[in-house]
Amino acid sequence: SGKANYGEEINYEITGIEAGAGVVAASQDAVEKYDSLAGWEVSTSSSGAMATALGEAIDNEEPIVVTGWTPHWKFAEYDLKYLEDPQGVFGDAEEIKTMVKTGLKDEKPNAYKILDQFQWETSQMEEVMLEIQNGADPAEAAKNWVSNNEDAVSSWTEGTEEVDGKEVELVYVNWDSEIASTNVVAEVMKEQGFEVTTTPLDNGPMWEAVANGEADGMVAAWLPATHGSQFEKYGEQVEDLGANLEGAKIGLVVPEYMEVDSIEDLQA
Ligand code: PBE
């Protein structure tokens, strides 16, 4: 693999997202652990700003290193690659799991059952993400997906009864993947008669809201690595309903045209 000195060109910066994201914490860990990243920094801003910076770099064929994750529309839009992580800082395959407040099963059995049965594939989540990325309002994109995927949706509502305006509060973080999943689940619940509120929070507060029962649940728990520290802190106070998506991943992502394959190649 090539040994171009990209560090100097990009100011030894890894373009990060929200400060509370697991992938940002893992990237900071990588900076500590890899000699090739000595002197690098992980900048923080937002997922949207990261995506804009990535698009601009690609337009100009310039180098950039971003905190990346799958599922994400950026892989459909651009030629990108994950940098190999020989030290395993970013973990292996991740699952996205559903967490609800304790007691939800008795309090709102139909909501609990829908959340428990919600489960889809990366390609399905990416359909919703792409539509949003192409300009659709998230709620509209979710509505379209739900009406075009009756089989999936009926497997999530199977065995549940419709309700009449029962309130449900879902929390999430404004990451593209979680905007897609949370809007889809909210739409399914609305069609079953629920009054659904979706509240965007930072990562820590999202976990805390489910743990202290302020929110009913979330479909945005990336485990075992990405949100490992949140799970350690709040895992005992929430009910884990298992994976809603398998085969997720986080890592450092670069454009295909960069002559590096591994984090160890970043600086000669
Ligand atoms: N993400 C998307 C989140 C989880 C979902 C990878 C940006 C994170 O890093 O915490």
pLDDT tens-place string over residues 122-166: 999 999 999 999 999 999 999 999 999 999 999 999 999 999 999
Regarding whether 105 and 73 lie in a shared domain, the answer is no
Q: Is 21 in the pocket of ligand 1 (CB under 6 A)?
A: yes
Question: Which residue's entry shows tokens 């970013």?
Answer: 90
Determine, yes or no, domain membership for 109: yes
Q: Tell me what ipTM this predicted complex has.
A: 0.95
pLDDT in tens, 204-251: 999 999 999 999 999 999 999 999 999 999 999 999 999 999 999 999
72 C-beta neighbours (distance < 10 Å), count? 25
**Mean pLDDT score of the chain:** 96
Tell me the residue ranges of DSSP E strands in 56-153. Answer: 66-70, 80-82, 94-101
Residue 215 lies in a domain: yes
Q: Is residue 36 part of a domain?
A: yes
- Quick one: tokens of 9? 């060109």
Tell whether 219 is covered by a domain: yes
| Residues 18 and 107 both lie in one domain | no
Cβ–ligand 1 contact at 207 (below 6 Å): no
Q: How many domains does the chain have?
A: 2
Residue nearest to atom 3 of ligand 1 (CA): 21
- Residue 254, domain extent: 6-92+250-265
* CA 6 – CA 228 distance, rounded (Å): 31
